[in-house]
Amino acid sequence: MHEELAWIETIAPDFLEVIRRRYYILQHIGWMQPVGRRVLAIKLDMGERALRTETDFLRAQGLIDTSKSGMILTDSGQETLSGLENFMGQILDVHQQEQQLIELLGIDHVLIVAGDSDDQPRVLKDIGRLVNETLRLLLPDGENIIAVMGGTTMAQVAKKLTPKLSVGRQLTFVPARGGIGEAVDIQANTVSATMAKHTGGSHRMLYVPEHVSKETYKTLLQEPSVQEVLQLIGKCNTVLHSIGEATLMAQRRGMSAEVIDMIKSEQAVAEAFGYFFNEAGEVVYKIPRIGLQIRDLDHIPYVFAIAGGHSKATAIQAYMKNAPSQTWLITDEGAAKQILKGVTL
């Protein structure tokens, strides 16, 4: 495909630029609709007159409608946008970026969706849809136990899973670790329950606090309900987790000012599974929690790290120094471009 595109650019240099420009316009209208021309021009860094020429063309083609509220995609526009997604992914060098990240991060799989979820929250929905489709293609028929971490990204992904995922499968979602202490809507218990609801699967709850002493840990392990969930976690064939920015995650969990200062002084940049990492990928702090540990990931067939937005780039790089090679990173262009900035492979 890339060779053919190079030939096209040789005989019609403006051909691909026109396609790129109109695709980006449709894409951003889809993300921001209804949206006014001035706001869209600023977002796309285009002059209003040039943008008007393009939107007039797209409206004449029946791809967008305009009203007092702004521009929106028509059904035909949405269909066109969806139909061009794979083709445009190649034009926009997404596949090349995926291969570069695979080599740089030392993992087997990277999938990138268009956009930057820091600037366009709707990109998270696209990430969720891609997670759903990838799971649908990969997971074996029959019983699947899926261990799920909490967090804002995971809460959004959960809403995009569909009943298609359960066709031919029995899905059981379990929280990967104890985590009562975070906001209820982003706790692993809530996320796993939401995933079960959207797919028609089942779920189990793990009621343990964020921080536990050794004595409390031993007591909790004797509880039959806790033992049942821990046994399921031990049997899981799939893990879904995100990657957080260290200081933000420490604050969200209500950690003491002393610990937060220590994490900052140790230059922690990433958090996953209760482990805090510096840029070199070294563990500088660990929250003692019940459930899945990073070392357990080595023996789990399907591990998905889900994180997007340019602000997550440093965190993703730091965590990936510890990720098992079979990890699937599902991210967006914002994070991918930031990670690859200045990198020569």
Q: Which two tokens stand for residue 44?
A: 């796309």
Query: What does DSSP say about strands 268-272 and 142-148: parallel, antiparallel, or unpaired?
Result: unpaired
* End-to-end alpha carbon distance in the chain: 21
Q: Tell me what pLDDT residue 221 has.
A: 78
Residue whose entry in the numeric block shows the structure tokens 């699937």: 328
- Residue 174 DSSP SS3: strand
Round to whole Å and give the CA distance between 159 and 193: 11
Q: Tell me what pLDDT residue 35 has.
A: 95
Domains of the chain: residue spans and CATH: 2-90 (1.10.10.10), 94-340 (3.40.50.1360)
Give residues with Cβ within 8 angstroms of 67, minimum separation 6: 34
Residue whose entry in the numeric block shows the structure tokens 């028929």: 141
DSSP state of 176: S
Q: Tell me what pLDDT residue 299 has.
A: 96
Q: Tell me what pLDDT residue 10 has.
A: 57
Q: Which two tokens stand for residue 330?
A: 């599902």
HSE at residue 5, side-chain half, CA atoms within 13 A, is: 13
Print pLDDT tens along the chain (345 aa).
Answer: 544 665 676 577 678 788 889 999 999 999 999 999 999 999 888 999 999 999 999 999 999 999 999 999 999 999 999 898 878 877 777 878 988 999 999 999 999 988 899 998 889 999 999 999 899 989 999 999 999 999 999 999 999 999 999 999 999 999 998 765 567 889 999 999 999 999 999 999 998 776 667 777 778 778 888 899 999 999 999 999 999 999 999 988 888 899 999 999 999 999 999 999 999 999 999 987 788 999 999 999 999 999 999 999 999 999 999 999 999 999 999 999 999 996 655
Q: Tell me what pLDDT residue 343 has.
A: 66
Give residues with Cβ within 8 angstroms of 342, minimum separation 6: none
- Residue 118 DSSP SS3: coil
Q: Tell me what pLDDT residue 115 has.
A: 86
Round to whole Å and give the CA distance between 249 and 119: 20
Q: Tell me what pLDDT residue 2 has.
A: 47
Round to whole Å and give the CA distance between 190 and 2: 44
Contact 146, 236 (CB under 8 A): yes
Report pTM.
0.77
